Amino acid sequence: MPVHTYTNWNKRQSDAEKQLKPYRKYFFICEGANTETFYFQKLIDLRKELGIHPLIDICLWQKTGEDKDISYAKKLVEFAMKQKDEEKNGFDKNIDKVVVVFDADVFEEKVQGYDELIEQIEKSDIAAITNPGFELFLLLHIEDSYENEIKGHEVEFLQKDEKGGYKHAYNVLHDLTGMNAKRNPNIGNLANNVLYAISQEKHINQDIHNCKGKVTSNIGKVIEDIMNDKPKF
C-alpha cells in the first residue's frame, strides 16, 4: 500500500455530521517523512478550530513501505500523480487538489528544472514550497521570529554548512524550541500558532516562481487559501 491517508473527517461530534460528504478534499503529500508529517497531522486535527468550512476536508498522504523515502522533488510529483489514479485513495480529479510540499534548496545550485516542475504541478494542483527548508516555515510560528531571527539574516539561511546542507533554519528552530524537528513529534504542536505563522510569512518572499536566492515560503498562504475556500452551490 503506497500511501496511508490521515484525516479526521470521520471524527465528528454528531451522527448528523458523520453523514456529510466533503465538497472538496485537499491531499497534502510531503518531501519529508517525519517533520512535515508531525506538523500536518496536528494541522488536520485543528481544522474545526481554524474555521475550515465543514465541507472542505484536508488529508495527508503518508508514504509507506518502499515509497516512504521518496524525497527527490520530481519523483515526489510523479508519485503524487500516480496516487490520484488509485481508486482506493478517493481522489476526485474534478474538484480535489493535491498540495505537493517540498524544499527548493536542492534547486539553488546544480539541479535544473524547477520552473518546469512548478508549471507541471500548477496545471491541476498546488505547490507549497520553502526555501531553504520546511523548518523555515516552522520558525514563523514562533513569536517575533521574523524580526529576531530572519530579518537581516537571510544570507545565513541560504549558506551551506561544512557538510553541504542548509541547516541554519533547523539549528535556529532547535535553539528556540529545544526540539529535534526531525525526530520529536511535539514539533507538530507549533501548528497551534499557524495563524501567527501566516501573518509572519507575509514579511518574506511568497512568490514561488521567483525564489532562487531568496528566503521563501508560501505554505502559510496555501493554508490561508484553504481556510478561505467556501463551496458555492
Q: What is the pLDDT of residues 173-192, one digit of tens each?
A: 999 999 999 999 999 999 99
Measured between alpha carbons, how far is 2 from 83 in angstroms, rounded to an integer?
8
Mean pLDDT score, 118-125: 96
CA 222 vs. chain centroid, Å, equals 8
pLDDT tens digits for range 52-75: 999 999 999 988 777 776 668 999
Position 16 pLDDT exceeds 60: no
Strands across the sheet containing 56-63? 3-6, 56-63, 24-30, 97-103, 126-131, 216-217
pLDDT for 10: 54
Q: What is the pLDDT of residue 143?
A: 98
pLDDT over 60 (residue 18)? no
State residue 69's pLDDT score: 65
| Residue 129 near residue 211 (C-beta atoms within 8 A) | yes
Indicate whether this model's pTM tops 0.85: yes
Alpha helices by DSSP H, the chain = 15-18, 35-45, 73-84, 114-122, 134-139, 145, 154-157, 168-177, 194-201, 219-227
pLDDT for residue 112: 86
Report residue 189 as a C-alpha cell.
504542536
Rounded Cα distance between 38 and 40, Å, is: 6
Specify whether the CB–CB gap between 131 and 117 falls below 8 A: no
CB atoms within 10 A of CB 66: 8
Cell, residue 108: 539553488
Alpha-carbon distances, residue 69 vs 33, 41, 79, 178, 184 (angstroms): 7, 18, 12, 26, 18
- The reported pLDDT for the residue numbered 189 is 98
Pairing between strand 126-131 and 216-217? antiparallel
Cell of 56: 472542505
Does the pLDDT at position 13 exceed 70?
A: no
Instruction: Categorize the per-residue pLDDT at 92 as very low, low, confident or very high, splitting at 50, 70 and 90.
Output: very high
Residue 1 has pLDDT above 80, yes or no: no
